Structure 1
């Protein structure tokens, strides 16, 4: 009898243990990371390369065993670089897919649009090429707690362009043509003007157009009257190409300068010879010796060159995020946020990454100057501002 009771008790204990184990929430088999990226639409040229590079980084991390034995799973959605679509996508990521962090977007306006969603959910987001200062710092000067970036910011990029025009091109007079409906374009124009005037230059005109407009002859006509040495056009490649053609048609001979939005090869198809000799600020250049292994791997997998700079930034963001997850020992949003903010001297693809916890921006991020020459982008110099 005693043996039967003992056996019964053992069976009950085993059954209870099994039931309790079944009630415990299962540990996720993968670490889900969202990728908010423009795969179609006006920014698709960069977005597709950005997504490709991110997958290349993930493949390498997973092949090496993942993060603490868990593989990374990328949940990618096409934002189309559209603010409303991006908000819907991020809601889906945090509410349904349960991602632990998000890489992207590359557009400042999109990053600002989704801020409330990812921050309310306490899901860290690392913007790739969103350069507007407001992406990580609110209007009241406080840091946006769960939003970071891996690129430099507009004040730096606009300042680089202004100082390069003064010091390297010897410009005395400059004009700007910018998109008043686009935060990226507005901020670059603003900081170019400040740097150029601070250095002793004169702004002869600052002309704006509205997003979607493709005829800039009226604005360029006013710019021509001031006979500037350089014209700063901080737009995407389509608008820059059209402005270049129209400027040359009007007989404007000023040197054209742009921001990193110019860095798409189709600018040559769109602008033709009108873009020859123009300069622009970028985050990276193909000639950079530190990225040659990456370029080799990218070409081997995708059979083409990446369209810089977005792919380098998404690759760096993944390395940064993987390191933060390891240091945090957790995928909890707050722990991960703290680890991201505390990043110091991390070797990434483009150099050494240290984050300023007061604004969630990288410190001492250099820029490169490239020139449109013979249908290709050529490296001119690496530029560090004097401010």
Structure 2
């Protein structure tokens, strides 16, 4: 890890109480999952605009510094070093993908910069190698073990007993969710009838899907991003695979192939169909501004920004150490629910299970921790 091959830098010094407070937004605006980046950027920028319309924070305007981190380790590291060393930011919203957020977190922790990832669900984002919590690193989303538990319980609640798991071994997010699902599934008495890996470069999944069909698994658990789900789902339909596809929040995208994935279920952080006033107001404002219904990426980036700016306000200071302490102790009602943080800087809140049906994604049920 980066922290092991470079000396820890001194924590960032508090800026003078003049000029704007800079907040970096690191998101994949290009690369394999650009819709994730656009939603994340737009959600964060809308939150910043709302705060600036009310006078900013600590009487200072908030300035967004947006960088394309591509959901990939090297570009993410370059973006993090750029915003910290050149732009002198003390706060980072991002990244989206765990494989990018983890190396960013090593840099931010060493340099005393507060990072809050909207959507990176791998536990290692906020934890050091020894299992202790990184002081400056937080997330606005639930973690993979909880997603795995939610989907395992949901599937078994529908009476399913057999599952086939396929996952990208090289993707921290995908592997972590697959492991969490398998653990929860088997502990609750379910049977894993097959497990296969692939790489992010693969486009032909026929060999694996032949094994899925042969296994007669009731559930095909595919916890990957929408671009891979689209390929697998289309090929599964072509091959007559009857397993019910299930996955995690990586499915959430306007570019998800709703026809191919029809009948599938996935865990997510919120539903725009939620009738809470905070959700209704957010969906209306976002839809008016951007002409689209906000997905979970947008909602969580918006939430992450509100959590961060509220912590700065509560700290009464632009000192990242004091802001990190305030963030750890925060309790705040946001779009994705009422949030407080556990000792590992993971939010304590509920998850939503959604279904792809008849060309749209609909809310099924909410599952609390």
TM over 0.5: yes
Instruction: List gaps (5 residues or longer) in structure 1.
Output: 1-24
The equivalent residue for 2:116 is 126
Cα separation, 2, equivalents of 1:251 and 1:232: 16
User: Is residue 133 of structure 2 the alignment partner of residue 143 of structure 1?
Assistant: yes
**Aligned partner (choices 242, 267, 280) of residue 292 of structure 1:** 280
Deviates more, 1:219-228 or 1:311-320: 219-228
- The DSSP-based 3-state class of the residue aligned with 2:232 is helix
| Structure of higher CA gyration radius | 1
**Aligned partner (choices 226, 230, 242) of residue 253 of structure 1:** 242
State the 1:27 CA deviation: 4.1
Q: Structure 1 residues 90 and 226, CA, compared in 2 at 3 Å: closer, same or farther?
A: same
The equivalent residue for 1:337 is 324
- The DSSP-based 3-state class of the residue aligned with 1:362 is coil
- The DSSP-based 3-state class of the residue aligned with 1:267 is coil
The equivalent residue for 2:263 is 277
State the 1:349 CA deviation: 2.4
TM-score w.r.t. length of structure 2 = 0.92
State the 1:250 CA deviation: 2.2
- The DSSP-based 3-state class of the residue aligned with 1:266 is coil
**Aligned partner (choices 84, 87, 91) of residue 81 of structure 2:** 91
Deviation track 1:273-309 (CA, whole Å, cap 9, x = no partner) reads 3321111111111101231111111121122222x11
- The DSSP-based 3-state class of the residue aligned with 1:68 is coil
Cα separation, 1, equivalents of 2:360 and 2:239: 25
- The DSSP-based 3-state class of the residue aligned with 1:33 is strand
Q: CA RMSD in A?
A: 1.4
Give the paired residue count: 353
Q: In the alignment, is the contact (CA less than 8 A) between 2:264 and 2:355 conserved in 1?
A: yes
User: Is residue 336 of structure 2 the alignment partner of residue 350 of structure 1?
Assistant: yes
Q: In the alignment, is the contact (CA less than 8 A) between 2:269 and 2:336 conserved in 1?
A: no
Q: In the alignment, is the contact (CA less than 8 A) between 1:265 and 1:376 conserved in 2?
A: no
The equivalent residue for 2:344 is 359
User: Is residue 26 of structure 2 the alignment partner of residue 41 of structure 1?
Assistant: no
Cα separation, 1, equivalents of 2:131 and 2:302: 29
State the 1:347 CA deviation: 2.1
State the 1:83 CA deviation: 1.1
- The DSSP-based 3-state class of the residue aligned with 2:362 is strand
The equivalent residue for 1:380 is 364
State the 1:26 CA deviation: 6.1
- The DSSP-based 3-state class of the residue aligned with 1:380 is strand
Deviates more, 1:376-385 or 1:58-67: 376-385
Q: In the alignment, is the contact (CA less than 8 A) between 1:207 and 1:223 conserved in 2?
A: no
The equivalent residue for 1:14 is none
Deviates more, 1:333-342 or 1:345-354: 345-354
**Aligned partner (choices 191, 195, 209) of residue 202 of structure 1:** 191
Instruction: List gaps (5 residues or longer) in structure 2.
Output: 1-14
TM-score w.r.t. length of structure 1 = 0.88
Cα separation, 2, equivalents of 1:99 and 1:80: 20
Q: In the alignment, is the contact (CA less than 8 A) between 1:150 and 1:362 conserved in 2?
A: yes
- The DSSP-based 3-state class of the residue aligned with 1:289 is coil
- The DSSP-based 3-state class of the residue aligned with 2:259 is helix
Deviation track 1:314-364 (CA, whole Å, cap 9, x = no partner) reads 111111111111121111121111111121x222222221111x201112x
Deviation track 1:214-238 (CA, whole Å, cap 9, x = no partner) reads 1111112222222111110011112
- The DSSP-based 3-state class of the residue aligned with 1:299 is helix
- The DSSP-based 3-state class of the residue aligned with 1:346 is strand
- Higher percent of residues as helix: 1
